[in-house]
Structure 1
Amino acid sequence: MAETTMDPTAAGLKTADGRPLKAALAAAQSRAKRRAFLLVLPLLLFIVITFALPIGQMLQRSFYHDGFSKASPALGAWFAANPAGKEPDEAAYAALASDLLFMKENRLAGEAGTRINYSVPGTRSLITSAARGADDLQPPYREALLEQDRKWGEPLLWVAMREAASPWTTDFYLSGIDMQRSADGGIERVAEVNRVYIWLYVRTFLLSAVITGICLLLAFPIAHMLATLPMAKANLLMILVLLPFWTSLLVRTTSWIVLLQGQGVINSLLVTMGVIDDSGRLALIYNQTGTIIVMVHILLPFMVLPLYSVMRVIPPSYARAARSLGATSWTTFRRIYLPQTLPGIGAGVLLVFILAVGYYITPALVGGADGQLFSNQIQFHMTKSNWSQAAALAAMLLAGVLLLYWLYDRLIGIDKLKLG
């Protein structure tokens, strides 16, 4: 390339082979970008295949369930031709009889019944038993089906079948906010005794906030001590902070069960010391208290590390200068030291809170009925094969976390996070 002292991007300059210099630089930059993209392409494909696609499939599952729609083509056509709210006539029952026979021939009655059972409990057996006897149904089909079971005339059942006739549905999100479809096709709250999800959703975020606050109060002095001690002692204490990571989560949780149970180590020690009597042993496990204690222990290192990464680079001379100018220790901490630790506080709080919201193993083992979190309901529905309900609840949890993440970005700024 020709040597020149002029601006290399100036028009009119050429390379040794006669090409315009500006075009040659643009081509070189383009090649560099392509090489960089090819280098990160394997990692990008890995993230898409193992992270993005599963999340996308799960989110789709929360809106999509074809268990009933693929088994009821005739009934789906009747619903499409008749407006919502119309009372089912003989043609509707004839379509239902045709679909019951179709379910029997293709062994779809169980799946179709399960889908309706999500909206109207107790209807799976109704559909499967009717499908078994579909060969014996004769017109008039309305009288034949009602004679078989009077539930076939219930408006709520027909509302549920109309909604399930399309594979795309919002029923699982309605259930996730303790709502349901009424007999007239509207939306209403479920009975008070069945209102589970909203309170559990709020309790999950409240408990996560409490756990995060306790972790911050405990981690701040630990991180400060690590940042101010000589390096040799700080490294030794850092090993103690990281030591829990070398032990299985299940082992740590089980150890806390041994410590906290009614006849466990802590209660027995308090009885021996005379702090409590044998009949007044503390309930420290299988409740919210147990969930908070164990999760604070598990998540504490995730708060210590971001705080330490920020505190270790704060020059001690700032505090000395403030004191030399007459500031008290509290003023120095409040106006000089604390503001410089805010990026670490933000990173630790965000990290611990998001982890706490999504935990389900620890609450399942030590939480009992009172210490369960929203994620435990997701795990319950996953194991009970109602993946669509689990996907809807997971989407709600994801939406809540993303909202808090957005608020943090608006108030503080993600660019100020200091994770190491």
Structure 2
Amino acid sequence: MADMTADHMPQAAAKLTTADGRPLKAALARAQSSARRRAFLLVLPLLAFVLLTFILPIGQMLHRSVHNNGFSANMPLMTQWFADNPIGTQPDEAAFAALATDIKAAAVARTIGIVGTRVNYELSGTRSLFTATGRKADDLAPPYQAALVAADEQWADPVLWATMRQVARAYSPNFFLAAVDLARDTDGSIIRAPEDRRVYVMLFIRTFVLAALITVCCLILGFPIAHLLATLPLRWSNLLMILVLLPFWTSLLVRTTSWIVLLQGQGVVNNTLVATGILTDDTRIQMIYNQAGTIIAMTHILLPFMILPLYSVMRPIPPSYVRAARSLGATSWTAFRRIYLPQTLPGIGAGALLVFILGVGYYITPALVGGASGQLISNLIAFHMQDSLNWSLAAALAAVLLACVLLLYWLYDRLIGIDNLKLG
């Protein structure tokens, strides 16, 4: 009897209808579909915003880091000659004829500077070679090899031809190689860059070391502040919280330049130390335009990003937990280490991750107070974007920085767990 009842239940449910006579199952499916459409339409503006302001720019950056057609688009005959002849082929009269023809066309189209700039990214000093030869393009006549070598002996340099072969490809990993201080030799093999051009790995290391040091400083300073805010009565903690949030209402430029006034050789700090007799005029401390200035200024600026996650975790911790541990014989240090500290780990992880990621990408503060020794990789990325106009190398450096941050984020998730992170 029970089996018969169970067998007839799906049939009975299938025969249920709504007030307007529609099957209940179809009506429920339609309602769920309508709810999903409404939910999608609600998040569509946010999805479009993220796509336009985050996903597409990152995609363009990654594409730019491996694509540069400055040579291939303006030197088609040379590009074709390199494609038809393997590495190691010595340039013949046909190669020089293709080069001369392309130079003439690029000079007429006023793109010879773009060609020279693209080659100059790989071999310094070649932009002037292309532009100077472009001005003499009308005088080039067969035999083109002799004519080009007569115009400038550098056209016979095999290193130049090997470099042109490399840049003849619109898509190339060379910018990523340059971003990690590597290069290609005349045979196309990957080698270390010349010693005077090995700057990027050192800057990456400096960036991550300084960001980690700033994170530790923010944690050491922010933990007791957050603990004080969490244990004070609400009226007093709200008043002190205003002081924590006050820097957010002040311009970043103003906060950074104020440290210049405080830390410079004739600044407030040094003058105070001299006035109190701790220092003399000859022993003033250089605290600005170096790594010390970068650490001090960035610690001050990023400190609220450490305090707020810590406070949000510490506030709900009942004080009775620590009191109970002490009543059971634990010392203050043991109660803190085994009872209080483990409960604050989500806030520590969130604050450290937030401060570290913000630190590795900071630009304005190191640019103003860092000097030569306090510059970070972000400053070099900005240099290539604004001054050298080597956008492909800037994109490659930014992509490497993004990959390093994502790797650290993944390690954090594997070691601690992203589910344990708490921002508020």
Same fold flag (TM > 0.5) = yes
Does 2:288 match 1:291? no
Match 2:317 to one of 301, 311, 314: 314
1:92 deviates by 1.0
Deviates more, 1:299-308 or 1:156-165: 156-165
Corresponding residue of 2:86: 83
Aligned length: 415
Equivalent-residue separation in structure 1 for 2:188 and 2:93 (angstroms) = 20
Corresponding residue of 1:391: 395
- Percent identity, aligned pairs only, is 67
Corresponding residue of 2:144: 141
Equivalent-residue separation in structure 2 for 1:305 and 1:10 (angstroms) = 53
Equivalent-residue separation in structure 1 for 2:408 and 2:11 (angstroms) = 48
Equivalent-residue separation in structure 2 for 1:235 and 1:333 (angstroms) = 25
Corresponding residue of 1:247: 250
Does 2:156 match 1:153? yes
1:112 deviates by 0.7
Q: Mind listing any 5+ residue stretches in structure 1 that lack a counterpart?
A: 1-5
1:16 deviates by 3.0
Corresponding residue of 1:69: 72
Does 2:344 match 1:302? no
CA-to-aligned-CA distance 1:194-224 (integer Å, 9 cap, x gap)? 2100011011000000000010011000000
Deviates more, 1:129-138 or 1:240-249: 129-138
Corresponding residue of 2:198: 195
1:183 deviates by 2.0
- Which aligned pairs between 1:20-419 and structure 2 lie closer than 5 A? 20-384=23-387, 385-419=389-423
1:85 deviates by 2.0
Equivalent-residue separation in structure 2 for 1:70 and 1:60 (angstroms) = 17
Equivalent-residue separation in structure 2 for 1:357 and 1:142 (angstroms) = 50
Equivalent-residue separation in structure 2 for 1:254 and 1:403 (angstroms) = 34
1:359 deviates by 0.4
Deviates more, 1:370-379 or 1:183-192: 183-192
| Contact 1:261–1:284 (CA under 8 A) maintained in structure 2 | yes
Deviates more, 1:321-330 or 1:222-231: 321-330
1:17 deviates by 3.4
| Contact 1:155–1:184 (CA under 8 A) maintained in structure 2 | no
1:94 deviates by 1.0
1:187 deviates by 1.8
| Contact 1:9–1:21 (CA under 8 A) maintained in structure 2 | no
Normalized against structure 1, the TM-score is what? 0.96
What secondary structure sits across from 2:374 in the alignment? coil
1:129 deviates by 1.2
What secondary structure sits across from 1:180 in the alignment? strand
- RMSD of aligned C-alpha atoms? 1.5
What secondary structure sits across from 1:71 in the alignment? coil
1:410 deviates by 1.2
Equivalent-residue separation in structure 1 for 2:359 and 2:12 (angstroms) = 53
Deviates more, 1:410-419 or 1:396-405: 410-419
| Contact 1:8–1:21 (CA under 8 A) maintained in structure 2 | no
1:10 deviates by 5.0
What secondary structure sits across from 2:191 in the alignment? strand
Equivalent-residue separation in structure 1 for 2:61 and 2:121 (angstroms) = 18
| Contact 1:159–1:181 (CA under 8 A) maintained in structure 2 | no
Corresponding residue of 1:3: none
Equivalent-residue separation in structure 1 for 2:271 and 2:10 (angstroms) = 81
| Contact 1:8–1:22 (CA under 8 A) maintained in structure 2 | no
Equivalent-residue separation in structure 1 for 2:392 and 2:325 (angstroms) = 59
What secondary structure sits across from 1:69 in the alignment? coil
| Contact 1:176–1:198 (CA under 8 A) maintained in structure 2 | yes
1:254 deviates by 0.7
| Contact 1:68–1:111 (CA under 8 A) maintained in structure 2 | yes
Equivalent-residue separation in structure 2 for 1:412 and 1:9 (angstroms) = 51
Deviates more, 1:31-40 or 1:85-94: 85-94
CA-to-aligned-CA distance 1:57-96 (integer Å, 9 cap, x gap)? 1221111111111110000110111112222111111110
Whichever residue aligns with residue 175 of structure 1, its letter is A
Normalized against structure 2, the TM-score is what? 0.95
What secondary structure sits across from 2:279 in the alignment? coil
1:7 deviates by 9.7
